[in-house]
Structure 1
């Protein structure tokens, strides 16, 4: 029997793990972080919530040398490729259904040649007047759905679904 798998997808926390992000991630079976973490404590907190897949971002310096620049992995029957900056994505990717990246702080979701390209945006420190956002993916029986979540600008406000 297939169960629903919930995957929290975040990027560009830049040293800030908001309470409302943690609340959303609490309900997830896995967490993906697309880089620019900035502090080991963020990884430690995320690993307490759920199994974590994380890649190193351009702002993750010496402390993050143990974190890979790219990852290939599978959750359920879905193949993932994750990297911080999309300009470094290889031209050909086999057995990949979803590409996760960050860096721009801007939410992006588009299907190209049968592959979903997803940037969850930034859910850390607000930058560039862009919305604070993340995504939650639900995988069930080989299919998936993406929920874009825009967080309120106020630090103590509740979540808002887009």
Structure 2
């Protein structure tokens, strides 16, 4: 059993409120637009970090993290990328990966809009954790944590905090 924290679009911002929310997590998964390598390093010192780069990330972040990450957590196949779209409107590259890899959990960021949707067509849980940083049009900072126990994803909680 693992407790997972999921975030995206920090854009270089990390603070103790995020640390408090993620304190019970075993590892953190970042769906891109980390902002800079220093932010990635700070997060990785706090908890083990799996991450992908996003469209605003520079060469240092892109050298350290891939565009797409596929892995298994417990008995759940996970696919993570920054720009992925949503069920019935996946980005073309993400859709090809979903069809080929058949993940049970698909994580992406980019939109700054928190969405958790079960995709019946591809039998996967889609999570976009929204934006945990302060840069962007969003008014509320968001993140997600959940437990993966074998093949079960459960006990999901949402973090919401005004952006300012």
| 2:157 maps to 1:147 | yes
1:126 deviates by 4.5
Structure number with the higher helix fraction is: 2
Equivalent residues of 1:10, 1:135 under 8 A apart: yes
Question: Against the structure 1 CA distance between its residues 77 and 8, is the aligned structure 2 distance closer, same or farther, given a 3 Å change threshold?
Answer: same
List structure 1 runs of 4+ shifted beyond 6 angstroms. none
Residues 91-140 of structure 1: CA deviation (Å, up to 9, x unaligned): 31434110000000000111112101110000111421432100001112
Measured in 1, the distance between the counterparts of 2:100 and 2:126 equals 12
When the two structures are superposed, what TM-score results if normalisation uses the length of structure 2? 0.85
Measured in 2, the distance between the counterparts of 1:135 and 1:93 equals 26
Equivalence map 1:118-129=2 (5 Å): 118-129=127-138
Structure 2 residue runs of 5 or longer lacking an equivalent are: 85-90
Question: Against the structure 1 CA distance between its residues 46 and 129, is the aligned structure 2 distance closer, same or farther, given a 3 Å change threshold?
Answer: closer
Task: Give the match for residue 107 of structure 1.
Answer: 114
| 2:155 maps to 1:136 | no
Between the two proteins, the alignment pairs up a number of residues equal to 151
Equivalence map 1:3-152=2 (5 Å): 4-66=1-63, 67-86=65-84, 87=91, 88-91=93-96, 92-112=99-119, 113=121, 114-145=123-154, 146-152=156-162
Measured in 2, the distance between the counterparts of 1:94 and 1:64 equals 25
Measured in 1, the distance between the counterparts of 2:161 and 2:80 equals 23
Greater mean alpha carbon deviation, residues 87-96 or residues 108-117: 87-96
RMSD: 1.5
SS of the counterpart of 1:71? strand
SS of the counterpart of 2:17? helix
